[in-house]
Structure 1
Amino acid sequence: MAIIRDRELIEKDIPVELIASCIKEHQEGIERLNLLDNYYLGNHAILERPSDEDLGLPNNRLVSNHAKYITDISSGYVFGNPIKYEGAQIEAITEAYKAIDIVSHDSELSKDLSVFGRGLELYFMSSDEIPIPKVAVIDPRQIFLVVDDTVEYKSMFGVHYYEKRDMDNEVIGYNVNVYDETKALKYFAEELDGENFKVVEEIPHFYNAVPITEFSNNEEQQGDYEQQISLIDAYNILQSDRVNDKEQLVDAILKVVGFSFGDDEEEMSKTARMLKKHKILELPEVGADASWLVKGLNEAEVEILKDAIKSDIHEFSMVPNLTDENFAAQSSGVAMKYKLLGLEQLAVIKERYFIQGLRERLKLFANILGVKGKAVDMSDVIITMTRNLPENEVTIQELVTLRDFASDETLLSQIPFIEEPTEEIKRVKVQLEEKLKRTQREFGYPIDPPEDVTGDEDEE
């Protein structure tokens, strides 16, 4: 979440003490971000469960990574298809986006939104001979934005800081890069307390605004599975204990009545080894008995509890279990949308906040392209995000029957493997003309029209 400060704290330059104060506040939230990242990577609390080695009881620690499933499904559903931009002067922006593969960038950003609840972009110019505007997704644990305390929350500056290491990969300090509306100020600090910040470099960035944009996953900036962590922990414990019970069942204690395996430990161990080897136990005729001491397992009740916890995880995260029997049958696109109603509500919220960030990105790219002499107006840009959902495709036979009711361009746009219907129509036209000429040549018809000879020769 952006850090809020009074704009009056900045007179001409940003005070080092203010930078250090903001870094300190940012670090207070890193523990939460580390927890969310660990759950996505599969490092769950169950792995830290202590074991009692003295009792020799099994201590399985199973991880069912619902966190990764929730993130991958929600991100793929909302951001699986490329975002489309439409506008009178959008071409310069889209060309710049293609040059930096913005589609892959958006996919990476969507993962940070789902895991951490927010994602941050840093804009810069490439180091090529002909610099181009570029953008990078930065780990939210290393970057933050500082805004003013007005109702508009306008950006004042941003900070990107990370460890500096020597040749032995030992930490020797921190690189602290501070970005305001005109320049990037780079510091080196042994500690982040603000007392020993040394200026390394000051360079202009030409974006005419703070070149950092913060995207939000929702109003609270919470991750998609953040509120389900306790349920995920309960599911891991239940599954781990089920396996523990199975192991204890296999290693059950043999209870014997009416006889002894031996008079001392050596004789009892020898009898136990023979019993294990030959699988035969001879008992006296009267009053003797042998049986296993086992704990009764009610698998039906455990399975009901497991399904209930799993159902709650998917229900409250609004990400359905796609392996459930409700998704087993083949369904039309419309029927599938009804089954994904909860996920669609989640997608609407994610899309709304993502588009807000995209408009900030457009402004920054428009600013830098303006500096390069390409005036771009972003006021009429329409941003369209389409869900990554299987659709009912029209067959070729159905398209042929519609030729008299729709234009060729509209019909070709319904075919998945044709990306540019207009260009395809031009190529087909050229192809037909070449075919006609080839046919005329084969039948001896003149390909080019005869020359038009007009007028009479001069008479002497």
Structure 2
Amino acid sequence: MAIIRDRSLVEDINNIPIPLLVSCIAEHQTSIGRLNNLENYYKGEHVILARELSGDEMGLPNNKIVANHAKYITDIATGYTFGKPIKYEGEQIESISAAYKEIDIVSHDQELSKDLSIFGIGLELHFMSSDEVPIPKVTVIDPRQIFLVVDDTVEYKSMFAVHYYEKRDIDNKEIGWNINVYSATSIVKYFTEKIDAEEYELIETLPHYYQSVPVVEFWNNEEQQGDFEQQISLIDAYNLLQSDRINDKEQLVDALLKLIGVSLGDTEKEQSETARMIKKHKIIELPVGADAGWLTKGLNETEVEVLKNAIKKDIHEFSMVPNLTDENFASNASGVAMKYKLFGLEQLAVIKERYFVQGLRERLKLFANILTVKAQAVNISNVEITMIRNLPENELTIQDIVSLIGLVSSETLLSLLPFVESSEDEQKKVQKELEERMKREQRSFGFPTDSPEDVTDDDAEIEK
């Protein structure tokens, strides 16, 4: 998340004081523990895996079951909201559309949306490629390595950004830190052996032409929280319940044999021999009045199953990401019925979309600025951004489309066909085929095939 500082602390925005950088980096590092924990949960490294039994419990089963609801929530929420490419419509944005296509912005958005869902925040860095003919590019930076510094006004305007990461030697051993500071006009590179050092070694200063801080911060929601962050305690409870459930099953298999009124032997050797004989022959002879049985722990599977389902339901309810494998999601459900079942997920997507679009507009400004420098005029004032949900829908059959002939235009009908990429291009092809067919038929009956504007004066005289 962005770090807030008073703008008066920076006299020259292109020369950020080292003490201010040290202070901002120290504040940013206080959030890294939380971000590490969120990534661990997405990767399946849950707290249950660290559970150890105490001395009194040594020898008992200690299963560690991980049900990775965190990954499920992120993958479903991300796929639903960002599964389809974002559409941009407006005048004079062809240059930006071409630049987006060249750098495969769709894949970039997918990667960025994953960071948003896990960490609650995502940051992208804008830069020019190192090609012979440089082009504007963007890359997603781990939020544990980069942050944006904004002023303390109500507008929270960007002042500068800091990207810092470990510098390593040929043996991959840490030897210090590279620190890149991005202002509205330049990139200042430093090196330090210790991140909390009071002085940094200046490496170089490079200009850039984005006319603004080339780092955009995206939010997942107002709280800047991940999609599963508030459900971590429920996820832990589910893992614990499932792990102990397996432990109880193992203890049931390893039950103790209870003997009443009989002994297996007078010495340990005799007892061991008798136990081996019982295990081998599966039979035991008891005197009159004696009894034998298993000493087991009673298991109430019904209660455990009810508790498991209750926790699982709470995880999906409070994350607003439904369980798509539930029986409520029948395979023959219509698209409209599916939308009602996904109503909670849609509300989550609306929030994610609202904050994501804000970041997309900042990205458009940076691309417009740099393309203007490259003498490519761009107008982003009226750009309309549309995000399409990745929702399964019923496809119309050919019979359904044929029944609409005469009710809607041919271009609309063609757009309903899933194998037609461009209804406009397809309509032109159909028109061309019709014209060629008409000419063939005219020739077969001896009629002229040239259109009136193609007929010359000589041709007209011959016809007379």
Alpha-carbon RMSD: 2.0
The 5-angstrom pairing of residues 190-209 of structure 1 reads: 190-209=193-212
- Correspondence for 1:413 among 396, 412, 415: 415
SS in structure 1 at match of 2:458: coil
Are 1:176 and 2:144 counterparts?
no
Whole-Å Cα distance in 1 between the matches of residues 418 and 353 of structure 2?
24
Matched letter for residue 70 of structure 1: I
Report the 3-state secondary structure (helix = DSSP H, G, I; strand = E; otherwise coil) of the residue aligned with 1:127: coil
Counterpart of 2:58 in structure 1 is 55
Deviation at 1:336, TM superposition (A): 1.0
The secondary structure found in structure 1 opposite 2:325 is coil
**Conservation of the 8 A alpha-carbon contact between 1:77 and 1:389:** yes
**Aligned pair in 2 of structure 1 residues 254, 401: CA closer, same or farther (>3 Å)?**
same
Aligned residues of 2:177 and 2:193 also touching (Cα < 8 A): yes
CA shift for structure 1 position 126? 0.6
Decide whether the 8 Å contact of 1:19 with 1:194 is kept in 2: no
2:157 corresponds in structure 1 to 154
Q: CA deviation at 1:439?
A: 6.9
Q: Does 1:423 align with 2:425?
A: yes
In the other structure, the counterpart of 1:24 is 26
Moved more, 368-377 or 391-400: 391-400
Question: Is the contact between residue 17 and residue 194 of structure 1 (CA under 8 Å) also seen in structure 2?
Answer: no
Superposed displacement of residue 405, structure 1:
2.2
Is this contact kept in 1: 2:18–2:199, CA < 8 A?
no
Q: 1:368 to 1:273 in 2, by over 3 A?
A: same
Q: Tell me by how many angstroms 1:51 deviates.
A: 2.3
**Residue in structure 2 matched with residue 80 of structure 1 by the alignment:** 83
Give the structure-2-normalised TM-score. Answer: 0.94
Following the alignment from structure 2 to structure 1, what is the Cα–Cα distance between the partners of residues 384 and 193? 47
Q: 1:438 to 1:185 in 2, by over 3 A?
A: farther
Which TM-score applies when normalising by structure 1?
A: 0.94
**What is aligned with 2:384?**
382
Q: Kindly provide the amino acid, as one letter, of the partner of residue 418 in structure 1.
A: V
Deviations 1:99-147 (A, max 9, x none): 0111111111111111000100000001111111000011110100000
Counterpart-to-counterpart distance in 1, 2:346 and 2:246: 36
Partners of 1:431 and 1:186 in 2: CA distance: 62
Q: Which residue of 2 aligns with 1:366?
A: 368
Equivalent residues of 1:174, 1:189 under 8 A apart? yes
Q: Which moved more, 1:263-272 or 1:442-451?
A: 442-451
Do residues 245 (structure 1) and 248 (structure 2) align?
yes
- Give 2:303's aligned residue: 301
Residues in 1 aligned to 2:208 and 2:283: alpha-carbon distance in whole angstroms: 84
Q: Show the counterpart of 1:115.
A: 118
Kindly indicate whether the alpha-carbon contact (under 8 Å) linking 1:123 and 1:211 is maintained by their aligned counterparts in 2: yes
Gaps of 5+ in 1: none
> How far off is 1:263 after superposition?
2.1
* CA distance in 1 between partners of 2:286 and 2:222 (Å): 73
Q: Aligned pair in 2 of structure 1 residues 455, 144: CA closer, same or farther (>3 Å)?
A: closer
Paired residues for 1:315-330 under 5 Å = 315-330=317-332
Q: SS at the partner of 1:453?
A: helix
> Is the Cα–Cα contact under 8 Å of residues 16 and 194 in structure 1 kept in the other structure?
no
Q: Letter of the 1:355 partner, please give it.
A: V
Q: Which amino acid aligns with 2:164?
A: Y
- Asked if structure 2 preserves the Cα contact closer than 8 Å seen for 1:109 and 1:119, the reply is yes
Kindly indicate whether residue 11 of structure 2 is the aligned counterpart of residue 11 of structure 1. yes
Choose 92-101 or 257-266, whichever is displaced more.
257-266
SS of the equivalent of 1:393 reads: coil
Does residue 272 of the first structure (1) align with residue 272 of the second (2)?
no
Give the corresponding residue for 1:453.
458
Paired residue type of 2:35? L
Equivalent residue, structure 2, for 1:341: 343
Are positions 1:46 and 2:57 aligned together? no
Tell me, yes or no, if the aligned pair for 2:415 and 2:422 is still in contact at 8 Å: yes
Residues 438, 58 of structure 1: CA spacing in aligned structure 2 closer, same or farther, 3 A cutoff? farther
| Structure 2 gap ranges (5+) | none
Aligned residue in 1 for 2:227? 224
The CA deviation at 1:437 is 6.0
**Cα pair 1:181 1:208 within 8 Å, conserved:** yes
Q: How many residues align?
A: 455
